[in-house]
Structure 1
């Protein structure tokens, strides 16, 4: 398994997280036709991963998780729970984003973004009113000679689902999150989804209702503010936040996360700029297709080794969130992002010798320099 340092520099710093390109069976030119039929093909060539991933095998039959969701006699809440749990398992995850509408004079669409990776979604917690899912990338690359690399394991994002939660920790721009209290009426029959970064810091938080049909189940969020993802902040700085809606749709052999995002410009106070509040509208489609035959053993081993450490990281963040009305973060301290520090700490606190008090102290010391007054 690749070391922490290797993965940071090869994956996170050289390309967006999880980016890789599947090796084609024959030489083909990547094409993009949606939304910009008459645009210059060279300018609209998708950006994203440039590495070559190993081949995969898709699962075509309905999964056991899907069949569990279709069982007769389930309550609405239990259907909701099973839809959320159906997102767990082994996947090829692909990520596609394209700006479809520009709101400024002389607007020119940027190149769309495409990447993919192989990702296992673990169930961390399965309780009546709360489900937590952890995404972990386990990727194999092929070099020019066709030789396959050792597995590269990347702890990815996390999603926490809570039933009828009145408390949201919403993003308000400029790396700042604030507590929002909702009414009981507003959250009746809803599930909130809290999404966390790779370092388990907050990313975005919203709520919505599940809808169930005979051949799909779908959840759509309320309007949600989100910080820029790596695919954006690594290449541009002309806007500050994404404002839009997320939809999670469960299908017989996977699930799809669609996004409808406005790219918003904010004042220093976190308000929309009056004359040009939005610069563009973006459509995103993240597709999770079940696969078989992929070797996930390195991911399982990594999570067994570091699981207690990351549980302590989650506990530290939860305590910080509960104690504060808001959290504001500095993106880098001494040129280093927080996730790098925490991933290095994870390797120093393995499960075999794990001491919760020692880890807690190290985690608090690591996070503290990144906290600023909100």
Structure 2
């Protein structure tokens, strides 16, 4: 398989990234039920008195083949349930249990509005298929890379070649001493973690599809027979693509999230306030919060889905992305505050890096230099305070 980006796929990728949750997600029916039945099943709770047309879920519009769910208990979950484990090791096994093959679904809905004359906005729903790879597995550190593999169906029911999209990454650090917190308007700042807060806790750092930072949170794992979950503290995070592609009236989400490991897979629940910030990244004085949003992402294990195209992509481009990760590690270690731009001269960072990932380099030094030159255009080191509480 050739991974040099073709114009058609680049246009399709850009379209998907502009309209779906974080990267292109296939939105397809599980069975042969009618569209009306499918829509009826998709609501758990909603604004029951709103006009149905205005609250029709937005999200992906393409179709994909059916997937087969794994009804058994994952081996990683069984290893997590072993008696007598040290707390840190049980935590680490819970994190590793997120690796594997999944049907992923994303549901987001505003549940409460705070503004005068508030009208609820359409909820967001989409789903896809992705494999989660273990990039690093150490006693104090685990890194997981998500790769989406999509197979589209055309109007005649024919299946396309696989399309691969490097999705988000999550890094977990045990008893971390500091965080780079998102403050607003693309700015991140280093924050020290005191001993009481970090003892026995794990930080989760989430990175964008291009490995630029998204947000970082600290929390603790809780384990009981049959379930494990990690609860984050409150933190700010930037608007996801599903939001900033359609609105610009707020600048950050503020809240917490919970990750739950189950025999069938895992979930991420989110509780967030839509936060308006001023130019100094302070909550707006007159109306800081617009609405509260609930989110639920499900990762259900699947069987016999063809992720081979994702494996080939990761084998081919993995060395490049490891050097991109090193750039950000060096920046984190060197600078206490910086700002990241999504786009420079009309070119999104993710597209520039996705194109570069397919290039050939004579040496690692040449690759590092190209990455440095590219990313330096998107990153600004900050010397003045980036936020005020």
The answer to whether the 8 Å contact 1:241/1:265 transfers is yes
Structure 1: tracts of 5 or more residues without a match: none
Could you tell me which residue of structure 2 aligns to residue 176 of structure 1? 187
* TM-score, length basis structure 2: 0.93
Task: Tell me which of 12, 15, 23 is aligned to 2:14.
Answer: 12
- Within 1, Cα distance between the matches of 2:173 and 2:316? 27
Could you tell me which residue of structure 2 aligns to residue 26 of structure 1? 33
CA positional deviation for 1:320: 1.2
The answer to whether the 8 Å contact 1:19/1:50 transfers is no
Could you tell me which residue of structure 2 aligns to residue 273 of structure 1? 284
The answer to whether the 8 Å contact 2:4/2:358 transfers is no
- Within 1, Cα distance between the matches of 2:105 and 2:375? 31
Aligned ranges for residues 43-62 of structure 1 at < 5 Å?
A: 43-62=54-73
Could you tell me which residue of structure 2 aligns to residue 230 of structure 1? 241
* Residues 181-221 of structure 1: CA deviation (Å, up to 9, x unaligned): 01111111000000001111110001100000111100011
The 3 A distance-change label for structure 1 pair 312 and 132 is same
* Residues 131-168 of structure 1: CA deviation (Å, up to 9, x unaligned): 00000001101001000010000000000000000110
- Within 2, Cα distance between the matches of 1:77 and 1:150? 42
Q: Is 2:206 the partner of 1:198?
A: no
Structure 1 consecutive aligned stretches of length 4 or more whose deviation exceeds 4 Å: none
CA positional deviation for 1:330: 1.9
- Within 1, Cα distance between the matches of 2:160 and 2:48? 38
Aligned ranges for residues 1-374 of structure 1 at < 5 Å?
A: 4=5, 5-14=7-16, 15-16=19-20, 17-23=23-29, 24-29=31-36, 30-31=39-40, 32=43, 34-349=45-360, 355-374=363-382
CA positional deviation for 1:33: 5.3
* TM-score, length basis structure 1: 0.97
Classify the secondary structure of the residue corresponding to 2:324: helix
The answer to whether the 8 Å contact 1:248/1:256 transfers is yes
- Within 2, Cα distance between the matches of 1:137 and 1:75? 34
* Residues 274-330 of structure 1: CA deviation (Å, up to 9, x unaligned): 111000000000000000110011000000001000000000111112111111022
- Within 2, Cα distance between the matches of 1:249 and 1:146? 36
- The alignment of Structure 1 onto Structure 2 pairs a total of residues equal to 371
